[in-house]
């Protein structure tokens, strides 16, 4: 058991957005045991930041995007959203709260997911469907075959990591700011997002964490997946981050 410093953002009525303070630190990003795009392993220094305690839910998404008040599926993660949709959500959330919310960088995401671990998952080197919502028909590293739920589950029903974050493995893929690169050669070491060609609006964008319909191997802390920014698929959602300096985070002219 550990404690985490939290921030609760009101989204109107009883609907809130819970964020956890991720402490600053340095970690080794990547995994030499698997894909080339997870290499070379390299040290990254991460300043502290706030990150959503859970993936953004359907209720939170609809409330921010169009003011809807959902009466069902309140705690299920939003799915079938593109990178452009995710960025638009961050823009509207920032306008609503007068704070500058954004998607995490890949480095922020992996650092937050690992929470001080260097194993395949923040649980260790295996997972089971009792710990993560993924396709249990395809286990990893000697774990037993288990349940394949075949659908999303409410956020927060599985154990969190040491930083107090839930559903970082499985559940839904989470969009990051970064453009996809085939390796970490030349990647930033300060935790910022990496977009090699910022003039190319169609560069593939990175997703992290795996999903409810994905294999265990693909839910590891270091796994990287990518899609064109306009693509919408099931099992793909988002999580937001916020700068710890609220004065810096407030949008100019709004407070």
Partnered with residue 42 across adjacent β-strands are 29
Q: Convert 77-114 to b/e letters by CB count within 10 Å (16 or more is b).
A: bbbebbbbbbbebbebbbebbebbbbbbbbbbbbbbbb
Q: Say which residues have a Cβ less than 8 Å from residue 240's Cβ, sequence separation at least 6.
A: 17, 19, 51, 52, 56, 89, 90, 93, 101, 102, 103, 104
Measured between alpha carbons, how far is 116 from 127 in angstroms, rounded to an integer? 17
**pLDDT at res. 33:** 86
Listed range (27-31, 131-135, 200-204) with the worst mean pLDDT: 200-204
pLDDT value at position 34? Answer: 85
Worst-scoring range by mean pLDDT, 3-12, 53-62, 146-155, 212-221?
A: 3-12
- Judged against a pLDDT cut of 60, whether residue 195 lies above it is answered with yes
* pLDDT value at residue 4: 74
Q: Could you give the angle at the alpha carbon of 29 between the alpha carbons of 179 and 135, nearest 5°?
A: 75
Q: What's the whole-number mean pLDDT along residues 213-225?
A: 97
pLDDT of the residue at 19: 97
- pLDDT tens digit string along 23-63? 999 999 999 888 889 999 999 999 999 999 999 999 999 99
* Predicted confidence (pLDDT) at residue 252 exceeds the cutoff of 50: no
Give all domains of the chain, ordered by start, each with its CATH number.
6-249 (3.90.1580.10)
> What pLDDT band is residue 156 in, cutting at 50, 70 and 90?
very high
């Amino acid at each position: 058991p550990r404690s985490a410093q939290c921030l609760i953002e009101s989204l109107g009525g009883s609907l809130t957005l819970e964020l956890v303070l991720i402490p600053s630190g340095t970690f080794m990003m990547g995994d030499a045991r698997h894909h080339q795009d997870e290499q070379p392993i390299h040290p990254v220094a991460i300043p502290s930041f706030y990150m959503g305690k859970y993936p953004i839910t359907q209720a939170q998404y609809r409330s921010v995007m169009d003011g809807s008040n959902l009466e069902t599926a309140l705690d299920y993660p939003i799915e079938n959203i593109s990178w452009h949709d995710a960025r638009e959500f961050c823009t509207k959330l920032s306008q609503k709260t007068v704070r500058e919310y954004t998607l995490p960088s890949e480095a922020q995401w992996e650092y937050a997911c690992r929470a001080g671990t260097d194993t395949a998952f923040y649980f260790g080197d295996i997972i089971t469907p009792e710990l993560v919502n993924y396709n249990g028909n395809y286990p990893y590293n000697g774990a037993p075959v288990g349940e394949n739920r075949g659908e999303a589950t409410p956020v927060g029903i599985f154990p969190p990591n040491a930083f107090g974050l839930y559903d970082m493995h499985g559940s839904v893929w989470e969009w990051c700011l970064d453009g996809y690169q085939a390796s970490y050669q030349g990647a930033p070491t300060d935790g910022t997002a990496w977009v090699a060609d910022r003039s190319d609006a169609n560069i593939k964008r990175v997703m992290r964490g795996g999903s409810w319909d994905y294999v265990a191997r693909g839910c590891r802390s270091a796994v990287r997946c990518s899609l064109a920014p306009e693509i919408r698929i099931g099992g793909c959602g988002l999580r937001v981050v916020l700068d710890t300096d609220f004065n810096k985070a407030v949008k100019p002219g709004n407070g």
